[in-house]
């Protein structure tokens, strides 16, 4: 349960960082970031594996770069359902997903048991 909470808060932190760093993403508050993180986690558990399998040839052809597009699309999907998170376009969603991944990875690296 602790790992889930840390990952959830790391994702929410990443969404907040993306909202403050990127001009194409606006996050209206911590509640919107936390709700988006929860929805993004649910989407990543249910929809992402199916999309990754379906697009595996394209992902292999692009040496994994297409996975960024999938992450951006799922980030845009989560932001679409949460009031308080606004994206300027798909490019902002891809960059936002990259920032969320980097921040989440950094937090995971810091708090992982050694």
Predicted confidence (pLDDT) per residue in 6-17, tens digit = 889 999 999 999
Please check whether residue 111 is in contact with residue 40, taking contact to mean a CB–CB distance below 8 angstroms: no
Task: Give me the pLDDT at residue 6, please.
Answer: 85
Taking only the tens place, the pLDDT of each residue in 57-70 is 999 999 999 999 99
Residue 112 has pLDDT above 80, yes or no: no
Average per-residue pLDDT in the chain?
93
**Contact yes or no for 104/14 (Cβ under 8 A):** yes
Grade residue 106 by pLDDT with cuts at 50, 70 and 90.
Answer: very high
3-class DSSP state for residue 87? Answer: strand
Distance CA 13, CA 43 (A): 18
Task: Please report, rounded to a whole number, the percentage of residues in the chain having pLDDT higher than 70.
Answer: 98
Q: Is the dihedral of CA 77, 102, 110, 28 positive or negative?
A: negative
Average pLDDT over residues 12-39: 95
Q: Is the pLDDT assigned to residue 4 strictly greater than 90?
A: no
């Amino acid at each position: 349960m602790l790992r889930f909470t840390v990952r959830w808060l790391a994702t929410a932190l990443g969404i907040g960082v993306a909202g403050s760093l990127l001009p194409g993403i606006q996050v209206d508050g911590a509640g919107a970031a936390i709700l988006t993180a929860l929805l993004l986690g649910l989407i990543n558990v249910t929809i992402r594996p199916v999309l990754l399998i379906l697009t595996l040839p394209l992902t292999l052809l692009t040496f994994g770069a297409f996975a960024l597009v999938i992450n951006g699309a799922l980030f845009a999907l989560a932001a679409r359902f949460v009031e308080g998170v606004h994206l300027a376009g798909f490019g902002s969603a891809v960059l936002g997903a990259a920032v969320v991944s980097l921040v989440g990875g950094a937090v995971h690296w810091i708090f992982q048991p050694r």
